[in-house]
Amino acid sequence: MVKLNKIYTRTGDDGTTGLATGQRVRKYDIRVQAYGATDEANSAIGIARLHIGQHSKLATALERIQNDMFDLGADLATPEPDPQQDKPLEWEPLRIVESQVKWLEAEIDRMNTDIPPLDSFVLPAGTPLATYLHMARTITRRAETLIAKLNDTEGEIVSPPALAYINRLSDFLFVAARYANGNGKQDVKWIPGANR
- Domain ranges in the chain are 23-79+96-189
As a whole-number percent, the residues of the chain with pLDDT over 70 amount to 94
For the chain, report the end-to-end CA distance as a whole number of angstroms: 58
Neighbours of 42 (CB within 10 A): 21
Mean pLDDT of the chain: 92
CA 56 to chain centre: 21
Q: How far is CA 79 from CA 35, 88, 95, 143, 158, in A?
A: 12, 11, 10, 17, 8
Does the pLDDT at position 4 exceed 70? no
Q: How far is CA 27 from CA 33, 36, 157, in A?
A: 8, 10, 19
Domain 23-79+96-189 is classified in which CATH homologous superfamily?
Cobalamin adenosyltransferase-like (1.20.1200.10)
DSSP label at 93? -
Rounded mean pLDDT, 95-103? 98
DSSP label at 61? H
Q: How confident is the model at residue 85 (pLDDT cuts 50, 70, 90)?
A: low
Question: Could you tell me which residue, 183 or 6, shows the higher pLDDT?
Answer: 183
Q: How far is CA 18 from CA 38, 106, 163, in A?
A: 17, 36, 23
Rounded mean pLDDT, 92-102? 95
**CA count, 13 A, side-chain hemisphere, 155:** 7
Q: pLDDT, tens digit, for every residue of 34-64?
A: 999 999 999 999 999 999 988 889 999 999 9
Q: Which residues contact 149 (CB under 8 A, 6 or more apart)?
A: 30, 34
Per-residue pLDDT, 21: 80
Element (H, E) at 69: helix 56-76
Neighbours of 112 (CB within 10 A): 19
Q: pLDDT, tens digit, for every residue of 20-37?
A: 888 888 888 999 999 999
Element (H, E) at 31: helix 30-49
